[in-house]
Amino acid sequence: MPDAADAALILAQTRKKRRSLPPVRFLGDLALDRTRVHEVCGGARRRMALMVAGAMEGTVFWIKPSWMPGQINPEGMLSLADPSRFIFISPIRPEDLLWTMEESLRAGLVSLVVADLPHPPGLTAVRRLHLAAETGAEEGKVAPLGLILTPGDGGAPGVETRWSMRPAHGENGREAWRLARLRARMQPEARWTVEGTKEGPRLSPAQA
């Protein structure tokens, strides 16, 4: 087994390689690092996940509990992402939700893995997901990105970033959402308004 010095060197090399990967830019200059797991909470969390998917290429695995009501309407997805790119997976057992995400990330075969969860996972589970994504980048065909969608205000420990997206629609059918970056290792908290336009979602200047 490697000693502490070897382990530290391997970790440093992994982080250096991860930083060299181009991030996924999904709204203007907003970006998410690959080979990491990010959390999105709030009532419009699925919309943000679709925005991220629309900014990427390749197949998307969308994992959702079989007992969770409601389905994503493919026609509603069209303005954000191509529904034909999505493979929906519905585990029956609760313990299979994170297992399925972990194995999908570790395979490194799809660019984006989304898990729509009933509650935030714990720290150990999040760390395993990070390691699986790194393994996928090393041994698979792509450097995957993981998104966990959590209800309420979220709160999964150890995630690379945490975002919140909530509806803020106006009069006369005007579509708008409040987007917030609640946590990021290298960036400050920030808030924006996302407006729906004929050309797609548009990010407004940061609010005070």
pLDDT digits (tens, 9 = 90+) for 193-206: 998 877 778 888 65
pLDDT score of 200: 74
On whether residue 110 sits in a domain, the answer given is yes
Using DSSP's 3-state secondary structure scheme, residue 181 falls into: strand
What is the structure's pLDDT at 173?
72
> Given this model, what pLDDT does residue 204 score?
80
Domain count, the chain: 1
Domain, as residue range, for 113: 21-203
For residues 183-200, average pLDDT? 86
Determine the average pLDDT of the residues in 138-156.
96
Contact yes or no for 181/146 (Cβ under 8 A): no
Domain with residue 107: its CATH number is 3.40.50.300
CA dihedral 129→134→140→144, nearest 10 degrees, is 70
Q: What tokens were used for 192?
A: 């924006």
Domain assignment present for residue 3? The answer is no
Rounded to 5°, the CA angle 201-53-39 comes to 95
Which is more confident, 182 or 171?
Answer: 182
Q: Is the dihedral of CA 129, 130, 134, 137 positive or negative?
A: positive
Check residues 73 and 96 and name the one with the higher pLDDT. Answer: 96
3-58 residue pLDDT tens: 656 544 444 555 555 556 899 999 988 999 999 999 999 999 999 999 999 999 99
Does the predicted TM-score (pTM) go above 0.85? yes
The confidence score (pLDDT) of residue 208 equals 47
* 32 is a domain residue: yes
Rounded CA-CA distance 1/100 in Å is: 29
Q: Which residues of 44-54 are buried (b: 16+ CB within 10 A; e: fewer)?
A: bbbbbbbbbbb
Q: Is residue 6 part of a domain?
A: no
Residue 69 covered by a domain: yes
Token pair belonging to 178:
């409040």
Return the amino acid letter for 82: D
On whether residue 167 sits in a domain, the answer given is: yes
What does DSSP assign to residue 31? E
Lowest mean pLDDT among 66-70, 131-135, 154-158, 167-171: 167-171
| Sequential DSSP letters for 3-26 | -HHHHHHHHHHHHHHHHHSPPEEE
For residue range 71-85, list pLDDT tens digits in order: 888 888 988 999 999
Cβ(62)–Cβ(116) below 8 Å: yes
Query: Is 76 part of a structural domain of the chain?
Result: yes
pLDDT in tens, 102-130: 999 999 999 999 999 999 999 999 999 99
